Structure 1
Amino acid sequence: MKLQFTLLTSALLLALPVLAKDVPLSQAADIASSVTPASASPSFNALESQVLTQLRDALKGDAATLTRDQLEKAKQNKTHADKAWLKASGYDFRVKENQQAGIELLSAFSTLPETVINENLKTVTDINRDASQLTRHQALADAEGISYLYFLSDALGPRLGKAFLAAYDKGELGKAAALIKASEVSTGEAKKHFNNPRPFLIQGNTIHLVPDDVVVKDNHPYTADGGSFPSGHTNTGYTDALLMAEMIPERFDALVTRGARYGYSRIVLGVHYPLDVMGSRMVAQRNVAHYLNDAKYRALFNEARDQLRTALEKECGATLAECAKTDGKNDPYRDPAMQTFYRFTMTYDLPQQKGERQSLKVPEGADVLLEAALPNLSTAQRQALMVKTALPAGYPLSGTTPDQQFWQRLNLPAAYALGHHTL
């Protein structure tokens, strides 16, 4: 173990200088488009089509056609989610306490300089304006699928993704589906607290509201109400993706990146700013770590995880390790470019502030987020990975407290990649 730690430490000293380099908007947009049906893989594109079909069927339910009114009532049914099991556990998610912790974590939003606020609006305007049609289609599917877990399947790769879709609709993942959705801490209180108007409501804006020709197919412009900061959809997408990554660590990096891609969809639609998405990433990471360090939650998590993994192996007809293997061009979420995309979504190229730089301190228990993915490393080694691969200091929302610094700068896919490839 001592030799292993020495080798890891040596690698960390040379870790990822690319982290300090910004990624152009156009490059990020091209990468984002590679995980839509514009990908180079027919099997991945077929999976995306299957996801949309099953989502529309779930939204429609027993009705003859899908209408917009049904979206308001959409949620996992008794087949998808074993809510009775979760309710019987009596677990208290302490929602109000976690909401307040989230508000405190994001408090730096209220003191951002005007240059950052202006660039925040410019960035959403540019991404919204220049998005390809298929990227807009992906954004609409992400938006309307918020109550379900279908969107996670494309980050599993074509083989495991198809097994996931089959198991999900059969109700074989019921405990995981119930627990994951119940673990989403609503951003409603934070939205009220920060009371920030959405980009399409700003005077003089040029946001294009995207007509729905994908899900309901009524060409109704997609919109959203309530405050913008932080993003509720991104909180959902990132929480779901991160918990699934903890249950299927064989696909850890791809799933975590799917959470970031889900947040990007909100900007494509013009209903959220980059800061909204960045803030929700911070809060979701903090919340998932918080729950995983709770012994009572962990017991439920383990039970749900075991049911999930057994069901996926059954549907796939092979071990999970085999089904989860990277499949070249058919597996675009495993393309190295997705690490570049994830890095972009941590800042959206918003201005980096100059000034005093704090050393990064890992909050107690935060390394639990890498525990399943890097089980052979010690707590100290996982913490070292988090620090060495972190975003440079000074980007918006990194604030002044150790927790704000850490949760804004934490780059989970980079930490995983370095730890995985070093050992």
Structure 2
Amino acid sequence: MKIRLSMLAVLLTATLPALAQDVSLTQARAIAGSVTPASSSLVFDAQESQSLAALRHALKGGAATLKREHLAKAAQSTTQADTAWLKASGYDFQTKANQQAGIELLSAFSTLLDSVLQANRDTVAAINLDATQAVRHQALADAEGISFLYFLSDAMGPRLGKAFLTAYEKGELGKAAALIKASEVSTGAAKKHFNYPRPFLVEGNTIHLVPDDVIVQDNKPYTADGGSFPSGHTNTGYTDALLMAEMIPERFDALVIRGARYGYSRIVLGVHYPLDVMGSRMVAERNVAHYLNDDKYRALFNEARDQLRTALEKECGKSLAECAGRGGKDDLYRDPAMNTFYRFTLTYDLPQQKGEQQQIQVPEGAEVLLKTALPHLSSAQIRALMVKTAMPAGFPLSGTTADQQFWQRLNLPAAYAMAQKIH
């Protein structure tokens, strides 16, 4: 243990030049394209097909064919999600209070410079227009799968991902499925507060609305209504991914990165800007930390987690550690390039305001997000990792308050990766 602690001290005092380097849009676009139904891995592609087929089956319910009207009624079945268990708990998710906290956290959006907003518009146009068919197909599946957890199988690796889809369909993860979806704090109040138009509604835009040839398969262009900032889908995807990462810490980094990739899909479809996605990441991280520090929520979380892990081991036929282990070339979300992609999504290469570099401060209890994934480290060590691996100051939405600075600059996969060097 003394050796590990001394190694940690060395790492925390070392410089991390990679964190300060910008990742280009071209580089990020190529990496995002590597995790689609047309990837280089036949195993990954087969798992994507299985997940998509399960999603389309769930969306149509008992109907013979899937129609557009089914999408508005989409929800996990009573077999998939044990909503009765959750309702019986009487837990109060304090939705309104958390929504207000989210609005305050994102208040810096209202003071952004015109140059930042222009870069925001330029970036969505570039990502949307240059997306490949495979990336668009992935984005459509992500969009219409918002009410379900199928998308998370992508980041679980070839063995665990398959076991997850089987257990989810059988209803063996009911408590986790119910709790995770109930933990999503709606962004509706924030959308009304900021009242920012979506990219495809701005006069003179060049957005290409993607025709649906994946889900309903009627080629109707995918669209969305309501305000743009922040992104509701990203909030959902990141909340789901982060909570699943807390339940399966063996896949922590891959699952967190999947949340970021889910947000990227919203930009591909041209219905959200980078800032919308960045803001929702901040809010989702804050909300998950808030819940995990609540003893009543934690009791429900532990019960759901235990049921999930037992079910996954049953379907795997081996220990969860073995099942969740690295899957070689077919384990695409464990490719080091995905950490680079995640780094890009923290800023989307939007302009950084130079000037005084504010020292980051870790909010009380924020270390809970890495506690399960890094059990060999103390709270103080985790907090130090969060500071050391944080993004540079000055990027959009980092604002002026300590909370804004922290949640905008937090890089969970980087902190996790650094800790692995001493484990």
Indicate whether the TM-score tops 0.5: yes
CA distance in 1, matches of 2:52, 2:177: 18
Structure 1 position 215 matched with structure 2 position 179: no
Q: Do 1:249 and 1:373's aligned partners in 2 also have CA atoms closer than 8 Å?
A: yes
The superposition leaves residues 259-296 of structure 1 with CA deviations (integer Å, 9 ceiling, x where unpaired) of 00000000000000000000000000000000000000
The superposition leaves residues 313-352 of structure 1 with CA deviations (integer Å, 9 ceiling, x where unpaired) of 0001000000001111100100000000000000000000
Deviates more, 1:14-23 or 1:28-37: 14-23
Structure 1 position 302 matched with structure 2 position 302: yes
Q: Do 2:105 and 2:283's aligned partners in 1 also have CA atoms closer than 8 Å?
A: yes
Q: Do 2:347 and 2:396's aligned partners in 1 also have CA atoms closer than 8 Å?
A: yes
Q: Secondary structure at the match of 1:157?
A: helix
- In the alignment, residue 217 of structure 2 is paired with which amino acid? K
CA distance in 2, matches of 1:361, 1:159: 39
- In the alignment, residue 326 of structure 1 is paired with which amino acid? R
Structure 1 position 84 matched with structure 2 position 84: yes
Q: Do 1:159 and 1:323's aligned partners in 2 also have CA atoms closer than 8 Å?
A: yes
After superposition, residues 306-321 of structure 1 pair within 5 angstroms as: 306-321=306-321
How far has the Cα of 1:41 moved from its partner?
1.0
Task: Identify the residue that residue 237 of structure 1 maps to in structure 2.
Answer: 237
CA distance in 2, matches of 1:174, 1:161: 17
CA distance in 2, matches of 1:12, 1:264: 31
CA distance in 1, matches of 2:38, 2:80: 29
After superposition, residues 123-162 of structure 1 pair within 5 angstroms as: 123-162=123-162
Task: Identify the residue that residue 190 of structure 1 maps to in structure 2.
Answer: 190
Q: Do 2:234 and 2:262's aligned partners in 1 also have CA atoms closer than 8 Å?
A: yes
Q: Do 1:15 and 1:389's aligned partners in 2 also have CA atoms closer than 8 Å?
A: no
How far has the Cα of 1:37 moved from its partner?
1.9
Runs of 4+ aligned residues of structure 1 deviating over 4 Å after TM superposition are none
Q: Secondary structure at the match of 2:53?
A: helix
CA distance in 1, matches of 2:218, 2:202: 26
Task: Identify the residue that residue 7 of structure 1 maps to in structure 2.
Answer: 7
CA distance in 2, matches of 1:169, 1:269: 28
Task: Identify the residue that residue 265 of structure 1 maps to in structure 2.
Answer: 265
Q: Are the structure 2 counterparts of residues 185 and 157 from structure 1 closer, same or farther at C-alpha, using a change threshold of 3 Å?
A: same
Alignment size in residue pairs = 423
Q: Do 2:238 and 2:262's aligned partners in 1 also have CA atoms closer than 8 Å?
A: yes
Structure 1 position 113 matched with structure 2 position 136: no
For structure 1, the 5+ residue unaligned runs are none
The superposition leaves residues 5-58 of structure 1 with CA deviations (integer Å, 9 ceiling, x where unpaired) of 222021122253111111111111110011112221111110000000000000
> What value does the CA root-mean-square deviation take over the aligned residues?
0.7
The superposition leaves residues 339-389 of structure 1 with CA deviations (integer Å, 9 ceiling, x where unpaired) of 000000000000000122210100000000000100010001000110000
Q: Do 1:5 and 1:381's aligned partners in 2 also have CA atoms closer than 8 Å?
A: no
CA distance in 1, matches of 2:21, 2:229: 26
Task: Identify the residue that residue 394 of structure 2 maps to in structure 1.
Answer: 394
Task: Identify the residue that residue 172 of structure 1 maps to in structure 2.
Answer: 172
How far has the Cα of 1:312 moved from its partner?
0.2
Q: Secondary structure at the match of 1:44?
A: helix
Task: Identify the residue that residue 47 of structure 2 maps to in structure 1.
Answer: 47
Q: Do 1:352 and 1:396's aligned partners in 2 also have CA atoms closer than 8 Å?
A: yes
Structure 1 position 275 matched with structure 2 position 253: no
How far has the Cα of 1:3 moved from its partner?
4.2
Q: Secondary structure at the match of 1:422?
A: coil
CA distance in 2, matches of 1:319, 1:30: 34
Task: Identify the residue that residue 362 of structure 1 maps to in structure 2.
Answer: 362
Task: Identify the residue that residue 31 of structure 2 maps to in structure 1.
Answer: 31
CA distance in 1, matches of 2:12, 2:336: 19
Structure 1 position 62 matched with structure 2 position 62: yes
Q: Do 2:156 and 2:254's aligned partners in 1 also have CA atoms closer than 8 Å?
A: yes
Task: Identify the residue that residue 325 of structure 2 maps to in structure 1.
Answer: 325
CA distance in 1, matches of 2:135, 2:16: 29
Q: Do 2:224 and 2:271's aligned partners in 1 also have CA atoms closer than 8 Å?
A: yes
TM-score (norm 1): 0.99
Task: Identify the residue that residue 99 of structure 1 maps to in structure 2.
Answer: 99
- In the alignment, residue 306 of structure 2 is paired with which amino acid? D
CA distance in 1, matches of 2:262, 2:39: 17
Q: Are the structure 2 counterparts of residues 22 and 143 from structure 1 closer, same or farther at C-alpha, using a change threshold of 3 Å?
A: same
TM-score (norm 2): 0.99
For structure 2, the 5+ residue unaligned runs are none
Q: Secondary structure at the match of 1:394?
A: coil
- In the alignment, residue 164 of structure 1 is paired with which amino acid? F
Q: Secondary structure at the match of 1:277?
A: helix
CA distance in 1, matches of 2:159, 2:34: 18
CA distance in 2, matches of 1:286, 1:330: 32
Structure 1 position 407 matched with structure 2 position 407: yes
CA distance in 2, matches of 1:320, 1:117: 45
- In the alignment, residue 191 of structure 1 is paired with which amino acid? K
